[in-house]
């Protein structure tokens, strides 16, 4: 492979990532990742759960601190831990749609994508009695038909900034928290993971990082709000 070919591959690969998976891309439609404000408010979000015992550990901590978060949940995990989703709702957190299975191959065909969105709406409603109005696609993947599917289902897409690019690999909590705090600006939406692509997994470092993140920002005078409050949209249909 020549140097020129390698450079072209890198350029087009970077462009494809930006278009389809960047937290900040708005090419195919509005996919908010923050709001412009000077008020010290921030939205804490968790993806890929519920996942025990980590989600409940986090829920206990958030309840003690009086902090509300938005949980973008995978349908298969909701079915695995329905009591956790119900507990989160009872504690005042918002439950949102994050697909049924979190399988990447499901997102290249419109029919599979729509089924992932719509079936998870039914799963979550069946467990908590509410139908989500917020959606985040796995890996923040978008494609031209994403927004039509979401409009048909009355769903608001939500992006955000990842706390740390290597958080899913469970690097030390202090490193995750340090990077997340660097992203913490007024109006930001920060993404952590209390699960791993719907498969469970050890999230001890993430949960420890969230605790550092929350306590640090509370000490700095920040208030945590759920995504619906931040974006001024409904949480449920």
Both tokens of residue 179? Answer: 């990077």
Asked if residue 163 is part of any domain, the answer here is yes
* Spatial distance between the Cα atoms of 29 and 42, rounded to a whole number of angstroms: 23
* Spatial distance between the Cα atoms of 147 and 45, rounded to a whole number of angstroms: 21
Q: Look at residues 156, 225, 151 and name the one whose alpha carbon lies nearest to residue 186.
A: 225
Domain CATH for 156 = 3.20.20.370
Asked if residue 24 is part of any domain, the answer here is no
Asked if residue 236 is part of any domain, the answer here is no
Question: What is residue 198's predicted lDDT score, i.e. its pLDDT?
Answer: 81
Residue with tokens 């005078």: 221
Question: What is residue 215's predicted lDDT score, i.e. its pLDDT?
Answer: 98
Both tokens of residue 207? Answer: 């949960």
Handedness of CA 85, 181, 186, 14 (dihedral sign): negative
Single pTM value for the model: 0.92
Both tokens of residue 175? Answer: 């490193």
Asked if residue 23 is part of any domain, the answer here is no
Beta bridge partners of 161: 190
Q: What is the pLDDT along the chain (237 residues), one digit of tens a residue?
A: 575 545 555 554 556 555 667 888 888 888 999 999 999 999 999 999 999 999 999 999 999 999 999 999 999 999 999 999 999 999 999 999 999 987 766 565 555 778 899 999 999 999 999 999 999 999 898 877 788 889 999 999 999 999 999 999 999 999 999 999 999 999 999 999 999 988 889 999 999 999 999 999 999 999 999 999 999 999 999
- Residue 118's domain comprises 30-231
């Amino acid at each position: 492979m020549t140097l020129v070919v390698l450079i072209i591959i890198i350029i087009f690969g970077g462009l494809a990532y930006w278009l389809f998976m960047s937290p900040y891309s708005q090419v195919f439609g509005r996919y908010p990742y923050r709001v412009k404000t000077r008020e010290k408010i921030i939205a804490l979000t968790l993806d890929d759960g519920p996942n025990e015992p980590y989600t409940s550990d986090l829920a206990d901590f958030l309840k003690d601190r009086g902090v509300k978060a938005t949980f973008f949940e995978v349908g298969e995990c909701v079915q695995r831990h329905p009591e956790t989703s119900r507990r989160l709702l009872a504690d005042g957190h918002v439950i949102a749609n994050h697909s049924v299975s979190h399988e990447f191959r499901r997102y290249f065909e419109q029919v599979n994508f729509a089924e992932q969105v719509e079936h998870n709406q039914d799963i979550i409603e069946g467990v908590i009695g509410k139908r989500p109005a917020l959606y985040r696609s796995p890996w923040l993947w978008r494609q031209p038909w994403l927004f039509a599917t979401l409009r048909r289902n009355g769903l608001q897409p939500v992006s955000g900034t990842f706390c740390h690019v290597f958080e899913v690999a469970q690097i030390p909590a202090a490193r995750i928290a340090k990077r997340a705090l660097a992203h913490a600006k007024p109006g930001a939406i920060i993404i952590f993971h209390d699960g791993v692509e719907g498969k469970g997994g050890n999230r001890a470092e993430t949960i420890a990082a969230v605790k550092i993140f929350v306590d640090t920002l509370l000490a700095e005078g920040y208030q945590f709000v759920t995504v619906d409050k931040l974006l001024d949209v409904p949480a449920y249909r």
